[in-house]
Chains A and B, each alone.
Chain A
Amino acid sequence: MENLLANSSEPRTQPVALHGAVLRLTDIEKVYQTKTIETVALNRVNLTINRGEFVSIMGPSGCGKSTLLSLMGLLDEPTSGVIEVDGRAVTSFSDRELAGLRNLKIGFVFQSYHLINDLSVVDNVEVPLLYRPGMGSKERRKRAVDALDKVGLSARTGHFPSQLSGGQRQRVAIARALAGGPEIILADEPTGNLDSVMGEEIMGLLLDLNRQEGVTVVMVTHDEHQALKTERVIRFFDGSQVG
């Protein structure tokens, strides 16, 4: 009886490994079905992201990189295949449970920052903490200020996004991703809208966070130089892993 139970629920009861896989994607396929065409965005992708890694993802435009990040970030469901977070398959999770997991474990950084223009810098950084049950406003503010400190923007808490440069905006977005204390940061072309100097700055910041804070980072990039600075480069072509 005991054995049977242990076997049947094996994936869910595995203990969280400290140095094991944060994310595991098995046989992932993603097909976008529109009225006229069917796009296979990802084709049999198998991928494991380990704790503490800095992985970069490269590939031509339209090869499925953003789709992959959406799936890793639990923003979308694969057409087939299994996604595991900390060893637990999320296949049957409800919308609420997925939202809770995103909030606790995942930080997002986007190419176009996606800051809320009507909120100040510090209020933007607080956004993920609004969705954390039971967190008071003092605690939120403290965490947001700490996160802004880490990205070197503690002097700009009261500014609005429109008053900042692109590089500063992306740093606010990174602070926002950090504020919730995530296990993994998913960054989709974080330097894509920045000039090379600012891009270097952001890349340096992500590397520091990875090395000093131990945050796992998965970054989509078109920049070979940046990719070379990371521990692992995964290359995609037309929905499939090619290296």
Chain B
Amino acid sequence: MLRHLFKLIWNRKRANLLLISEIFFSFVVLFGVGTLLINFGRNYRLPFGFDSGPVWRLAIRAGQGQKMPRAELDDVLRQVQALPGVQAVALTSDNTPFSFNNNNTRYYNHGLQSPITNNYDADDAYARVMGLRLREGRWFQPIDDASKARPIVISQDFREIMFGKGPAVGRAITGGNPAVDPKTDQYRVVGVVDAVRMDHDFAAPEPALWKRLEPFDTTHWETANVMVRVAAGQGGALQEKIARTVAGVTRQWSTEVRTLEDERLSKRRYTLVPVIALSLVSLFLIVNVALGLFGVLWYNISQRRAEIGLRRAMGASAGAISAQFLGEMMVVTTLGVLLGVLLAAQFPLLGAFGMPTGLYAAAIGAATVAVYVITALCAWQPSRLAARIHPAVALRED
């Protein structure tokens, strides 16, 4: 019977080509959206690699074109640190977790080039404030003042890519390719921490490294980003107190205090809006395709009434008729899905977007199941209708 269905479909290839291409198109859309959603879902369940709950971000701005002297900044940090409810403060760069800033580049371990890596500035208190999980070596300490190369701490994923199973702590990396630029910046690894996901709730971990901010650094800042670790249960009162403390040092500086939780939630909203829009558009497309399939099947069946009557006369039961129409749809679906899989398989094969093969496989699986469910649902009612066609009526020839 399957061979018979294939013959029927092959001999009607022009009409079926339209169905097959619609199914192929639906598959591709579902695969694309599926890849995105599955990727987001998988990432969402991974740990951030740091604490966001008890941490606030304090941004201090010197004002347009102004710089802040380090001594005054240190004074602010000391006073904020001394506030009751504040456990620790750390100075960092403006690419704080869940912010819209990022700062990334590639590094070299001799000839080996790293992938794009996020780099953060961090002082000696940062690891404690952020709750980074140390795996090897140590975080920055005052003894690093004596280091010639700038000390860095790297994330576990960066470590695996750049040092494999060999030792990482004590090793040097450079900012440029040393073969091309012998005077390039030198960094020395002092520790390794767990991989972090600082972009948004659904982001994958990305290779990261932290460069030590020296206490006697004389850089003059326009904006200082301070991470503040607070005791449990602190809220708006402490936020105001922090702002007043900064104002107490100098009236020129403006401040903004936000909890990392707030930042996380607003970044999440921002990230989800286009995803939800895309999902809705795809859903709309799929519903349209499904209605189209449904219509084509109805039309097919009305065109094939005589054939249905004939098959009934030749010994097909009502069940056999509906099985035939469902079966034809499943064969057509299989052809469309096969084409879709052929296309989708190129993504892992070509390593496009650097997503893991398992993710693509899961998306292919999900899109396949969804397409079969959709076409089976579309074919269900028309097939039942075909089965109910009365053979004696369908075969009348006047």
- Are A and B associated in one complex? yes
Interface residues of A, Cβ cutoff 8 Å to B: 66-67, 70, 73, 75-76, 95-96, 99-100, 102-104, 106, 108, 110-112, 114, 116, 118-119, 123, 126-128, 130-132, 137, 176, 180, 188
Give which listed residue, A102, A110, A111, A126, contacts B315 with CB less than 8 A: A102
Q: Which B305-344 residues sit within 8 Å CB-CB of chain A? A: 306-307, 309-320
Give which listed residue, B314, B318, B392, B396, contacts A131 with CB less than 8 A: B314
| A25 nearest CB across to chain B (Å) | 15
Interface presence of B251 (CB below 8 A): no
Q: List 21 A–B pairs whose Cβ atoms lie within 8 Å, in order of A's numbering.
A: A75-B313, A99-B315, A102-B312, A102-B315, A103-B315, A106-B313, A110-B395, A111-B397, A114-B307, A114-B395, A118-B8, A118-B12, A119-B7, A123-B4, A127-B310, A127-B311, A130-B1, A131-B314, A137-B3, A176-B314, A180-B315
| B324 nearest CB across to chain A (Å) | 9
**CB-based contact B307/A116 at 8 Å:** yes
Interface presence of B11 (CB below 8 A): yes
Interface presence of B391 (CB below 8 A): yes
Closest to A160 in B: B11
| B184 nearest CB across to chain A (Å) | 71
Give which listed residue, B12, B311, B396, contacts A66 with CB less than 8 A: B396
User: Sorted from nearest, which 10 A-B pairs have the closest CB atoms?
Assistant: A103-B315, A131-B315, A99-B317, A128-B314, A118-B11, A76-B392, A70-B392, A75-B392, A114-B310, A75-B391
A161 CA to B392 CA in the complex, in Å? 23
**CB-based contact B312/A99 at 8 Å:** yes
| A237 nearest CB across to chain B (Å) | 18
| B318 nearest CB across to chain A (Å) | 5
Give which listed residue, B3, B7, B307, B395, contacts A75 with CB less than 8 A: B395
Other A-B contacts than A102-B314, A111-B397, 13 sampled, CB-CB below 8 A, are A67-B392, A75-B312, A76-B391, A96-B319, A108-B314, A118-B8, A128-B315, A130-B1, A131-B320, A132-B315, A137-B3, A176-B314, A180-B315
A100 CA to B314 CA in the complex, in Å? 9
Which residues of the other chain, B, contact A100 by a CB distance below 8 angstroms?
Answer: 315, 317
Q: A127 with B11: in contact, given A75-B391, A114-B306 (CB under 8 Å)?
A: no
Which residues of the other chain, B, contact A66 by a CB distance below 8 angstroms?
Answer: 396
**CB-based contact A127/B314 at 8 Å:** yes
Which residues of the other chain, A, contact B391 by a CB distance below 8 angstroms?
Answer: 70, 75-76
A112 CA to B317 CA in the complex, in Å? 23
| A50 nearest CB across to chain B (Å) | 23
A2 CA to B12 CA in the complex, in Å? 59
Which residues of the other chain, A, contact B315 by a CB distance below 8 angstroms?
Answer: 99-100, 102-104, 128, 131-132, 180
Q: Which B366-398 residues sit within 8 Å CB-CB of chain A? A: 390-392, 395-397
Which residues of the other chain, A, contact B312 by a CB distance below 8 angstroms?
Answer: 75, 99, 102
**CB-based contact A119/B8 at 8 Å:** yes
| A143 nearest CB across to chain B (Å) | 13
| B383 nearest CB across to chain A (Å) | 16
Which residues of the other chain, A, contact B307 by a CB distance below 8 angstroms?
Answer: 114, 116
| B52 nearest CB across to chain A (Å) | 63
Which residues of the other chain, A, contact B397 by a CB distance below 8 angstroms?
Answer: 110-112, 188
A128 CA to B311 CA in the complex, in Å? 7
A95 CA to B388 CA in the complex, in Å? 11
Q: A73 with B313: in contact, given A119-B7, A123-B7 (CB under 8 Å)?
A: yes
Give which listed residue, A67, A96, A106, A116, contacts B310 with CB less than 8 A: A116
**CB-based contact B395/A103 at 8 Å:** no
Residues 282-307 of B, flagged 1 when their CB comes within 8 A of A and 0 if not, give: 00000000000000000000000011
Q: A99 with B316: in contact, given A76-B392, A114-B309 (CB under 8 Å)?
A: yes
A96 CA to B323 CA in the complex, in Å? 14
| A6 nearest CB across to chain B (Å) | 32
A116 CA to B317 CA in the complex, in Å? 18
A111 CA to B395 CA in the complex, in Å? 10
**CB-based contact A99/B320 at 8 Å:** yes
Closest to B13 in A: A118
**CB-based contact A108/B313 at 8 Å:** yes
| B19 nearest CB across to chain A (Å) | 15
| A147 nearest CB across to chain B (Å) | 13
Closest to A76 in B: B392
A131 CA to B392 CA in the complex, in Å? 19
Closest to B319 in A: A96
Which residues of the other chain, A, contact B318 by a CB distance below 8 angstroms?
Answer: 95, 99
| B159 nearest CB across to chain A (Å) | 62
A4 CA to B351 CA in the complex, in Å? 80
| A20 nearest CB across to chain B (Å) | 24
| B193 nearest CB across to chain A (Å) | 66
Which residues of the other chain, A, contact B396 by a CB distance below 8 angstroms?
Answer: 66
Closest to A177 in B: B314
Which residues of the other chain, A, contact B7 by a CB distance below 8 angstroms?
Answer: 119, 123
A118 CA to B11 CA in the complex, in Å? 6
Q: A119 with B314: in contact, given A75-B391, A110-B395 (CB under 8 Å)?
A: no
A127 CA to B391 CA in the complex, in Å? 16
Which residues of the other chain, B, contact A126 by a CB distance below 8 angstroms?
Answer: 4
Which residues of the other chain, A, contact B319 by a CB distance below 8 angstroms?
Answer: 95-96
| A60 nearest CB across to chain B (Å) | 13
Which residues of the other chain, B, contact A176 by a CB distance below 8 angstroms?
Answer: 314
Which residues of the other chain, B, contact A70 by a CB distance below 8 angstroms?
Answer: 391-392, 395
A112 CA to B320 CA in the complex, in Å? 24
| A81 nearest CB across to chain B (Å) | 16
Which residues of the other chain, A, contact B306 by a CB distance below 8 angstroms?
Answer: 114
Which residues of the other chain, B, contact A118 by a CB distance below 8 angstroms?
Answer: 8, 11-12
